[in-house]
Amino acid sequence: MKVSVYTPTKNRLEALAKAIDSVLNQTYQNVEMIVVNDGSTDGTAEYLEGRAKLDNRLKFFNKTVSEGAPIARNLAITNATGDFVTGLDDDDEFTPERIQAFVEYWELLARLGFKPSCIYAQDIFTRHGEVLFTTQKKGMVKADDLFEFNHIGNQVFAPKTHYIEAGLFNQTLPAWQDMEMFIRIVKMFGTAHLLDCATQLYDDSPKKDRISVKAESKVRNAYKQFSTIHAVNQPRNSQALMLQMFSKHYGVRPGLTDWLSFTKLGFWPKGLLKLALATFRP
């Protein structure tokens, strides 16, 4: 069983080299890694050309014009030759046994009669190289669960056909592309299952535009599009999704217009409490 790993990248050569190492040094060797260089200017193109000569499992696309991560991911997935596909961000790393654990867990679920839409695992969050915590994700995720929180994280392991038939990543969304893709996969193919061990190092170092006006605009626009696509005539799901926008992760604070929009969707005491806490948090 061959596994393809996709990685979009732009101007993160030092981190990318570590990410590539973490894939090519997996205990499970039947892998290919497809890196899409999205217009880097830091020597990434030359590095990929040289590195691929040393290991033919590394494939790459060097784009001269940056078009964004969703387009890069879709390019890689479309050209993947693996039976299964998973992703890796260019500033994250796999633990050595991650892919083998995914393959073995998928085979175990199949023997037990389960047909998961995808599987996901726990993550080790790091910041500036220091471990912060290990996630404690729920054991199974259904479509409605993803409105309240992205319980899956940023990567799944699934057959290539699941990505293709679900329609790949939405190239118009300014944010939340991972979660929106996952909800389509889960809606189409069923429950997502957790591999309950930590197999990915997730870099949570602050990004330069995490709380900028530009970042807030992206999250707000993503909410509007996501809600329009997946929460039509589902006011509670729309409210839950809105609360995700106001999480500490994004730093977006609710305003008067948000309160009006939220209450128009219906009376939800627990949701109103969360909205108040987001409004008045330090």
- C-alpha–C-alpha distance, residues 133 and 127, integer Å: 10
| Alpha-carbon gap, residue 66 to 175, rounded angstroms | 16
pLDDT tens sequence across 85-141: 999 999 999 999 999 999 999 999 999 999 999 999 999 999 988 999 999 999 999
What pLDDT shows up at residue 64?
Answer: 93
In a domain, 208, yes or no: no
Same-domain pairing of 104 and 53? yes
Strand segments, DSSP code E, in the chain are 3-9, 31-38, 58-63, 84-87, 93-94, 118-127, 130-134, 140-141, 157-159, 192-203
Number of domains in the chain: 2
Looking at residue 16, its amino acid is: L
pTM exceeds 0.85: yes
Q: Do 135 and 243 fall into the same domain?
A: no
User: 216 pLDDT exceeds 80?
Assistant: yes
Q: What is the DSSP string of 44-80?
A: HHHHHHHHHHH-TTEEEEEESS---HHHHHHHHHHH-
Burial status of residue 169 (CB atoms within 10 A of its CB: 0-12, 13-18, 19 or more)? buried
One domain for residues 197 and 225: no
Domain check: are 160 and 268 in the same one? no
Residue 129's nearest CA partner among 87, 94, 91, 89 is: 91
Residues 19 and 139 in one domain: yes
**Structural domain containing residue 52:** 3-203
Where is pLDDT greater, at 205 or 267?
Answer: 267
pLDDT at 191 over 60: yes
pLDDT of residue 1: 93
